[in-house]
Structure formats: structure tokens, C-alpha cells
Amino acid sequence: MSGFGEATAVERVGDGRYEAVLDGDFGFAEALNGGYLMALLGRAAVDASPHAHPVSTATNFHRVAKPGPAQVIVQPRKEGRTAASAFVTLVQDDRPVVDALITTGTLDAGAEPGYAGQAPAPVPPLEECTEFQPPTGSRGFADQIDMRFDRATMGWLDGRPSGSPEIRAWFRHRDGYAVDAFSLALAVDALPPVALNLGALGWAPTVELTWHMRAVPAPGWLTVHGTGRLLADGWFDEEVEVWDRAGRLVAQSRQIARVPRTRS
């Protein structure tokens, strides 16, 4: 297994019980990325299910997950011919860190959509995009994930937020891991917060995130499109769509998060 596969591996140690070692390279300043945690929980849910894909994941983040040992508890809620559901909990130091209600199903990689809405504005070609270089000491996530950003959506980096809550980027694993369902869990939470383009400052912790897997991704780069509708009273929302190189919508998400402060 490659780096991402190893970092999200879970080991079954009992009925509905798994052990894992959380990898600090998938976080910032020891706070692990929420998409990484959802990928790990998704692996446990799929392992405990007769179905192959996490088609819906509704996640609540209770506290910061830290690198090191953790347990995953899978409590089945329903098992059917086309879908199964389970309540999945990540536990560290005997406390729940993340809870997720995960519905699994098996998607046909060759399925064609009966209807597809209009695609978002395309991300510029790779050679016209820019890599975001985090501050020294915060590169763990950037060393694992190769993201190339549409420069028009990165004005906040230079202290000139655009005023529009949008960020767009290309996405792939640096270690060559082929994009799959668990990559999508990571991709929907990989962008910097769109609220940065509204003048937000500092860490913006996600409180709840729901994402849906819509198709099995084709090999190659993904494009990630983040937007928002409202920033008010210290809260903001963020919606993300992930598209594959075949031009198919493969994942969608919506989250609500906190904004500690904004530019005066």
C-alpha cells in the first residue's frame, strides 16, 4: 500500500471494533484534516459492510484528533440489498473525537448519468495554476497532497481577499495512490476555507460536514470547486464539488464551520 493507503488503514480487532494509527502528516500543526479522518472512518464502514463504497457520510467533529493510536467503533443500523448504514465513531483517550453516520452502497463504475446539471467554470490548466506553500512547519498535508490552485481565487494569500467565497484547485496524491472513494473523502475537505476570501483570519474548524460519493472517479487529477453562501455571527458554510478527468461529478459536500475573526 502507498502512503495514503497506509495512513488510513484500519485493523479489525473484534466485532465492529478497529484499531488505527493516525498519521500526523495529514494535518496542520497537529490538528488532523477532517477529510483524512472521514476516509479512515469510511474504510472501517466499508469493511463492516457488504457494499463497496461510502455513498453518504454525515460527520460531526467533537474535538481535535491527534496523531497516534485510535479506535474505530462501527455500530450497524441497517443492512439491505442496495444499501447499509452504520454509526461510526473515532475514539482517542477513551473519548469520542468524530462521529459519522455512513451509508454504504456499490456504485457501477460504468454507469452513465440520466441527468447532469451544468458543470462549474473550469479550473485553468495546470501550468497556469499555483501551488500553495504553507508556512514552515505546516507542510505535512502539502507534502502528501498535490494541489494546484486557480490564482484568481487565492487573493487572500497576498492580503487581498476577493470578496467572493470561492476557491478552485486540481487535486491528486503525491505518492501515486490511485484516486478512489476514500480519496474523495479527503478531497471534499482539502481546500483552504473559502471564508478566507471574505477576510477571515486564522483556523476555521469544521463542526459538521456531510458528503456524498456520486460516481467512481476515473484515474488522474480531480478538480475541486469550493463556494459559500453566508458568513454571519462567526459561522460560515462551504459547498464543494469534485469532478474527475472524464468530466463527471464524483463527490459533493456541505459543511458548517466557525470563523474566529475577520479583517476589520
Selection from 72, 130, 69, 105 nearest residue 215 by Cα: 105
174 belongs to a structural domain? yes
161 belongs to a structural domain? yes
> Residue 7: in which H helix or E strand, if any?
helix 3-7
Residue 213 near residue 107 (C-beta atoms within 8 A):
yes
117 belongs to a structural domain? no
116 belongs to a structural domain? no
pLDDT score of 31: 86
- Domain span at residue 221 reads 3-107+124-262
132 belongs to a structural domain? yes
pLDDT score of 14: 97
145 belongs to a structural domain? yes
Number of structural domains the chain divides into: 1
pLDDT score of 241: 98
112 belongs to a structural domain? no
Q: CATH number of the domain that 171 lies in?
A: 2.40.160.210
- The residue-averaged pLDDT of 44-69 equals 97
Q: Which of the 8 DSSP states describes residue 179?
A: P
Cβ burial 149-164 (10 Å sphere, 16+ → b, else e): bbeebbebeeeebeee
- The residue-averaged pLDDT of 18-33 equals 90
pLDDT score of 171: 98
Mean of per-residue pLDDT scores for the chain: 93
Strand partners, 79: 84
pLDDT score of 261: 73
Q: What is the pTM of this model?
A: 0.95
pLDDT score of 230: 97
- In the chain, the percentage of residues whose pLDDT exceeds 70 is 95
In tens, the pLDDT along 193-246 reads 999 999 998 789 999 999 999 999 999 999 999 999 999 999 999 999 999 999
Residue 7 near residue 157 (C-beta atoms within 8 A):
no
114 belongs to a structural domain? no
